[in-house]
Structure 1
């Protein structure tokens, strides 16, 4: 080997080694291969579409689900129907006039009909008069909602058949007739869990009564 060749090798070999080392340090990492070849779905992967009837209509389960959602929404609207309004009790008494309600003579607790005169104001269109519940004034035992309701004029008289109450948000007055325990002297009114009466209301002896319809 000549001295000239030795000098060339002396320069080239270190450069080659430096190049190889640089390639190793800058090489991309190896791709990690999953240990298992089985594929997994992401957590939010769509499931199978709901089964429909062959004619394209909803199945019975689907109809029930839709109906349940509608009823839940309706219930929510009614529960919020009173809004910031209020219910004022103008009086209450043992009732002996006409009503399509009648106490059950075979009930374990002897009952009678009670009329409650109320004025409702500030409520929304979703307010449901049928949802006003009557409860024992002391024990707070509920005796149900769905009274027999009748419109009254704002001065407390039976509203004529050709007259209608004022539209919302105006006040309206009602006669609400309930079946209520005969031995219970006081009551509270509730609407979807909200107490409407600040103190127990005492039931009086008598008051306004609806006339019985004429016999055919």
Structure 2
């Protein structure tokens, strides 16, 4: 069953994870309504204690989740101006059995992303505006700039856990999600690469982030055999 999830199309796994997030909100007494937007911007509105609040939903198949920095990290797309962040994550990247749904205060998330951004800049890494930056949900003691800000899931327990087998079976009867063009932060990519150069650029940035080196130090070779 676990391999089945990893082999599903990205649109299907994204729908399953978002569905788990919204189900967790409903189980907690909220009625989530998606704020109109493009692609996977995934901003929702809920009512809590008589007050309407905005929520940012994030999904991840690798236990890392992302937000998009703007204006050299002074702003964060779809993180600023929300009250809290919901992250739907598989329990294990290679052998997922469950989807865990976490609720984090947006201020706590912002502090983590600000710290991670600052650590990468201090290390001489390139962090581009309007391109997703990832932070690990779990503790990461490798000592790399990318490890800064990690560990939210060790401080907060999931608000809900759903068996993947059941979620997959339920999703089979639902229409596939239509992903529009535009800003989106999923896993692993934040936006669909449109050229081979885009794919190579994204891969170099991710490798640099995970290995703690400058992006310029990563050299990739792409060969297409026909």
Instruction: Give the alignment's TM-score, normalised by structure 2.
Output: 0.23
Q: As a proportion of its length, which structure holds more helix?
A: 2
Instruction: Give the alignment's TM-score, normalised by structure 1.
Output: 0.24
Q: Which has the larger radius of gyration?
A: 1
